[in-house]
Structure 1
C-alpha cells in the first residue's frame, strides 16, 4: 500500500457498505419514519434510563425498551432498533422487518449492519445511533444524523479488536465543543475515525479532507457521510466535490497541501512500546505507535507547516510531566517561535490513574493476567522517563500573518461553559485587537456576563478582596487592586482608558515616592489583560 491513497471503496471487510445508494436511502427513510433521533430515543427511554445509557449502563434501557416493545407502531419499532444497535440485543428477523419495512432484514444484512446470531435471530455488527446538534440562534447549522461505529466494550464480550473504530466519545465531543467555528474554504480532519469532526466542519467549510491510517475507519466515515447526505447537503454522486477521504499516516496524505483550519483528535494515548511489536498489535484509534507523548509533540511542531497564513489548528492531547518539572515545560518546548500557540491543561493524573483509564477503555481487565502484565508495563514505561504525571488538554495553533502575538500555557481545571469554541475564537480576536491598538486610546465597557464580588472583615472600612467573575466562556476570576477596581467601575464607554487613568492619578497620586509613569504603565498592562480575558471589551 502506498503511504497515502484517496479512499473510495464502498466494500471494506468488516465495515458497512456505502456503495448501495438505494439501500442507504431506504435505511434513512425508515429510521426517520420511526423517530430514531436523539430526542426520540430520550423520550422512549425516559430521563433515568437515558442518563444511565450515557454512562454505558444498559440495564435501565433494557427494562424501558421491554415495556415499549409491547406498544404499537413507531414506538415498538423504535424500541426494537434501540435494542438492536444501542443495547446489542439480538432481535427476531420478523421484528426488524416490521420496524424497518423499506429496508427489511435482507437490506440490513447486505449493508453489513447486522449478522445472524447463533440462536437464529439477528444481531448488530455495528453501533448505529442518532447524533445531532441544535440550530444556532439565527436558525442555521443544526443537524440530525445517524452515526455508525464499532460496538463498544460495554456492548460486546472480550477485548476490543485492534482496528476498532471508535464511536461518539468524550474526546470527540470535547473537540467539537472547543473548535472555534468560522467559514473557511479548506479544512482538514486529521484522524477522522467515524467522521464526527467532518460532519461539523461541513457546516462551515467549503471542502473537507478527512484522513485516517485505518481503512475501516474511512469506510465507516464514508458510510456515515452517504447515509446522512441530505442532512449534510452532499451530492452522493459527487462526494469528492465536498469531501476527500485519504488513507495514510499522520500528515502523509496531505503532503504539500495547506488548509485554513485543521482539527484533530489524534491517537494521543501514551502506550508502552515493546520489542518486536507490529502495527497490528496497536489500537489504531488511540495509539500512534510512537514512544511517550511524541505523537502530540510531532503534530504541534508540524501542523503550522500545513496551515495557510492566518490558518488555525485545534487538537487534543496528552503530555508527560517529569518529576520536579512544571507541567507546561514539555509543551512549551514543542511550539516553534514563529507560531501562535494557546494550550489549556484541563486535567492531570498519576501514572496509575492513566494506566487504569486506558486498560479499562480496551476491556483489558476481562483478562486478569493480561491486565496485570499491561498495568506493570505502563508503570515501567513512565518510570523509565521519570514521569510523575500526565496532562490532558486542548491546543490551539496559528500560522501568523505577521509576527506571533499569542503564546499562552495555562491550567483551567474547573467547569467551563460549553461549547467554548466561540469564546476561544473571541479571545483570539481580542488578542489581535490588542496587538494593533493602543489601550490608552480605547473606550472600554464591562462585558455583560461579568460581576464583581467584594469581601471584607466585619467592621472593616474597606474591602480586603475585590474579585471580577465571568459567568460565561472560560469563567475566569480576576483579583483586583483598589485602583484597578476603580478603573473597571468607570468603564462605561464614555472616557478613554487613558482619561480614566489620569483621573485615578489625580485621586490617588501625589504622595512621597509616587511614580506616575510606573502607575500608568502598570495599570495599562492590567487593563490590557482584562481586555485579553474578556472582562473588558472595546466599546
Structure 2
C-alpha cells in the first residue's frame, strides 16, 4: 500500500483543480462527467497526462489505455489494480476502475488535510440504479458531519454506520483508538481499504446501531445513520430498501433509538454528534426530538430545513434511482405510498438537522443540564468548535457558585460579533437590539441592560465591576440587575457571543 500511496502523491484536490477548466469543474458539480473526459483525453504527455489518467480512471469511470495507467502508477503498475480488485481490463490494452477513488480535502481547525477515499461508482458513471448494498462516497451530508465534529484529543472515538469510513479515518488524527461499525460487511471492507490507504488503524465491528458497542465507554461518537423515513420499512424488498440510507425501522425510530441509547455508551464527559430527521406534527417541531433526549444529557438540536411529504418522497425516490420521467408508473406508486404514510401519521412532513450531546463528567440533576432546540438561520451548519463551546459553557456555568454577573470573571466578547439596533421613526430608544455572529450568522435578541453589560466585556473589567457600575448608572438594585443578566450571559456563553473562560 505504501507504493500505491506514492503513486497517488500528485493526485490531490489542488492539482486536479489546476488541471481542469472551470467549466469542466462546474459540470462535475452537476454530475456531468463528459466535459472533463473530453478535456483530459487530449493530455498525452508529461505530468499532466499522468494526473489526467488517474482522474479519468478513478473519478470519471473512463476506459483508459493500459500504457497511460502504467505510466501514472510507476511503483505499483496496472497489475496491482487488477489483483486487488480495484480495476478490470475490458480489453488487453485498456483498464477501467471498479470503484470511485478520489482525494478529499478536510479543514481541521484551520489546517487542510488530504485523504484518499474509495467508494462505489455513482449512477452518472454506471448508468444504472444504485444497488441495495451501495457504499456512498463523500457528499454534502458527510462534509457537514465532518464540520460538526469536535476535534479535541480523545481516548476512544466511534464512527457508527461508517460507510466508506471517512469519519473514522479523520477521527484517527485526534483519537487514541477508533472503532468503525456498520451493518454492511461490504462497507467495512471499503473502510478497511481506505484506512490502510491513509495509514491509520481502525477496529472494525459488524452490527446494527449500538449493538456492537456494548460495554464500551465512548469519548466521541460520530454518526450519519440510515435515518431516511421509508414507508417500506420492514418489507423484504431490495428494490425499496437501500442499506446506506434505510435503517429498516418504522418512522424515525433509527434516530430516536440511537439518541435514547447514548447514556449507556458515552463515557463521562463524552460527546456524540450526528445527522438526523424527525416527523413533524401540529405540535412545536422540537417536541419530538426533545422527547428522545435523556434529561441528564446536555444537548443541541438544530433544525436546518423541513420537507413536505411530496418533497421528501421526491428527494429520496430520485436518490434511489426512481425517476418520474424514466419510470412514471413506478415513481407514482412509490409516491402514493409516501403520501398515504404521512396522511396516516397526521404528519405535515419531516424536519432535518444536526444533533449533538454531552454526558456531563459528574452526576447532575436534570435541572442543571443544558438542552437547546433551535432553527438554524440560513441553513448554515455549525462547527465542531461551536459544539465544544456550547458544552464547555455548560460545564463552566455549572461550576459557578455565585451569579455570573457578580463573579470575578473578566468576560470577553468574540471578535466576530456585531451589534445591530433598529429604531422606529422618531423614537430615540431602539425597538430591537440584537447581536449577530459573523461566524454562524445566528442572532441573539438582547435587552438594553445586557447590551450595556456586553459592550463593557473587554477582558479588563470583572463581571461584578460592570454590574455594579451599571446599577449606579441606571439606579437599579444590584441583585435584581444580576438576576436579569444571568440568563443572557449563559446564552451568550453557550452560543459563542462571549468567550468561555478557561477552567
TM-score strictly above 0.5 = yes
Tell me which residue corresponds to 1:13: none
Tell me which residue corresponds to 2:34: 59
Measured after TM superposition, the shift of residue 26 of structure 1 is: 3.3
Q: Distance in 1 between matches of 2:257 and 2:500?
A: 38
Tell me which residue corresponds to 2:392: 429
Q: Distance in 2 between matches of 1:516 and 1:99?
A: 73
Q: Aligned pair in 2 of structure 1 residues 388, 517: CA closer, same or farther (>3 Å)?
A: same
Q: Distance in 1 between matches of 2:286 and 2:487?
A: 24
Tell me which residue corresponds to 1:359: 317
Q: Distance in 2 between matches of 1:399 and 1:180?
A: 14
Q: Distance in 2 between matches of 1:300 and 1:417?
A: 20
Within 5 Å, which residues of 2 pair with 1:226-305? 226-229=196-199, 234=200, 242-273=201-232, 276-277=235-236, 282-305=241-264
Answer yes or no: is the 8 Å Cα contact 1:443–1:538 preserved in 2.
Answer: no
Tell me which residue corresponds to 2:442: 476
Match of 1:194 among 164, 170, 190: 164
Moved more, 406-415 or 461-470: 461-470
Q: Aligned pair in 2 of structure 1 residues 247, 208: CA closer, same or farther (>3 Å)?
A: same
Moved more, 121-130 or 182-191: 121-130
Answer yes or no: is the 8 Å Cα contact 1:345–1:413 preserved in 2.
Answer: no
Tell me which residue corresponds to 1:504: 470
Match of 2:5 among 21, 28, 35: 28
**Structure 1: unaligned runs, 5 residues or longer:** 1-23, 235-241
Measured after TM superposition, the shift of residue 380 of structure 1 is: 1.6
Tell me which residue corresponds to 2:75: 102
Answer yes or no: is the 8 Å Cα contact 1:304–1:397 preserved in 2.
Answer: no
Answer yes or no: is the 8 Å Cα contact 1:153–1:361 preserved in 2.
Answer: no
Tell me which residue corresponds to 1:349: 307
Measured after TM superposition, the shift of residue 519 of structure 1 is: 4.1
TM-score when scaled to structure 1? 0.85
Q: Distance in 2 between matches of 1:26 and 1:494?
A: 56
DSSP 3-state at the match of 2:229: coil
Measured after TM superposition, the shift of residue 373 of structure 1 is: 1.7
TM-score when scaled to structure 2? 0.91
Measured after TM superposition, the shift of residue 155 of structure 1 is: 1.7
Answer yes or no: is the 8 Å Cα contact 2:467–2:478 preserved in 1.
Answer: no
Tell me which residue corresponds to 1:402: 363
Answer yes or no: is the 8 Å Cα contact 2:60–2:125 preserved in 1.
Answer: yes
Moved more, 191-200 or 80-89: 80-89
Measured after TM superposition, the shift of residue 459 of structure 1 is: 5.2
Measured after TM superposition, the shift of residue 76 of structure 1 is: 0.8
Q: Distance in 2 between matches of 1:433 and 1:499?
A: 20
In the alignment, is residue 73 of structure 1 matched against residue 46 of structure 2? yes
**Structure 2: unaligned runs, 5 residues or longer:** none
Answer yes or no: is the 8 Å Cα contact 2:304–2:379 preserved in 1.
Answer: no
Measured after TM superposition, the shift of residue 342 of structure 1 is: 1.4
DSSP 3-state at the match of 1:453: strand
Q: Aligned pair in 2 of structure 1 residues 397, 63: CA closer, same or farther (>3 Å)?
A: same
Q: Aligned pair in 2 of structure 1 residues 434, 48: CA closer, same or farther (>3 Å)?
A: farther
In the alignment, is residue 85 of structure 1 matched against residue 35 of structure 2? no
Q: Distance in 2 between matches of 1:200 and 1:305?
A: 25
Measured after TM superposition, the shift of residue 538 of structure 1 is: 5.7
Answer yes or no: is the 8 Å Cα contact 1:267–1:284 preserved in 2.
Answer: yes
Q: Distance in 2 between matches of 1:225 and 1:287?
A: 25
In the alignment, is residue 49 of structure 1 matched against residue 49 of structure 2? no
Q: Distance in 1 between matches of 2:147 and 2:415?
A: 22
Tell me which residue corresponds to 1:463: 430
RMSD across aligned positions (CA) = 2.3
Q: Aligned pair in 2 of structure 1 residues 107, 334: CA closer, same or farther (>3 Å)?
A: same
Moved more, 366-375 or 39-48: 366-375
Deviations 1:495-538 (A, max 9, x none): 3333323333333337xxxx775444223322332233222236
Aligned residue pair count: 491
Deviations 1:183-204 (A, max 9, x none): 1111111111011101111000
Within 5 Å, which residues of 2 pair with 1:125-140? 125-134=98-107
Higher-RCO chain (CA-CA 8 Å, sequence separation at least 6): 1
Q: Aligned pair in 2 of structure 1 residues 414, 534: CA closer, same or farther (>3 Å)?
A: same
Answer yes or no: is the 8 Å Cα contact 1:417–1:475 preserved in 2.
Answer: no
